[in-house]
């Protein structure tokens, strides 16, 4: 028979009656962290799905925080920094962090580090790339498509309107 990737530790403490629940919880959490950084709440949910007792979950995650493997503040800053690459608005990124269970105070602290013009700069960069594909359309269709794409990424109506007007006004220059 095949062996589990982490020795005899199976998917949940109940799968192996002799297994130490803390060892199982630690392995589950470490596997989750191997894929990508996670918030404490995400790890709590993953361990709850595997029926790890709450007191064991708390002890294991406390230890992972002590050694620096789980840090919601770092997670939030990194998530926001990666948002530039994903071309999403600050508001959309904040919603994602809330969904991941990061404490509001931690999120607000991370957001305070962002540049005030960040949304405009990210929206502008996205719009300039997107506008090239709209060159053959009539102006109304260009506006609708570009504004819609920006709005779906969570940018405010003001940023959407400003960036869309500016980029479409420069469209002939972008095609050169």
pLDDT in tens, the chain (176 residues): 443 433 344 455 555 556 788 999 999 999 999 999 999 999 999 999 999 999 999 999 999 999 999 999 999 988 888 866 778 888 888 888 999 999 989 988 888 777 768 889 999 999 999 998 888 889 999 999 999 999 999 899 999 999 999 999 987 655 44
* CB within 8 Å of 62: residues ≥ 6 apart: none
- Within 21-170, residue ranges assigned H as helices are 21-35, 40-49, 54-66, 72-86, 90-99, 104-112, 118-132, 139-152, 157-169
Alpha-carbon span 135 to 41, nearest angstrom? 45
Read off the pLDDT of residues 50-61 as tens digits, 9 standing for 90 and up.
Answer: 999 999 999 999
What are the C-alpha distances in Å from 155 to residues 65, 83, 92? 34, 12, 8
Say what the pLDDT of residue 135 is: 81
Alpha-carbon span 78 to 125, nearest angstrom? 20
Say what the pLDDT of residue 127 is: 94
How deeply is 63 buried, as exposed, middle or buried, from its count of CB atoms within 10 A (0-12, 13-18, 19+)? middle
């Amino acid at each position: 028979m095949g062996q589990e990737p982490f020795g005899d530790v199976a998917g949940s403490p109940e799968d192996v009656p002799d297994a130490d629940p803390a060892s199982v919880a630690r392995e589950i959490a470490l596997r989750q962290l191997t894929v990508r950084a996670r918030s404490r709440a995400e790890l709590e949910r993953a361990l709850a799905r595997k029926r790890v007792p709450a007191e064991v979950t708390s002890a294991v995650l406390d230890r992972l925080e002590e050694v620096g493997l789980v840090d919601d503040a770092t997670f939030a800053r990194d998530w926001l920094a990666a948002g530039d690459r994903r071309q999403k608005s600050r508001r959309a990124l904040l919603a994602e962090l809330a969904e991941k269970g990061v404490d509001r105070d931690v999120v607000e602290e991370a957001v305070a580090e962002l540049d005030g013009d960040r949304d405009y700069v990210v929206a502008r960069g996205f719009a300039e790339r997107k506008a090239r594909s709209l060159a053959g359309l009539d102006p109304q269709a260009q506006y609708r498509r570009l504004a819609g794409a920006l709005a779906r990424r969570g940018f405010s109506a003001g940023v959407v309107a400003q960036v869309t007007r500016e980029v479409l006004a420069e469209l002939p220059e972008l095609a050169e």
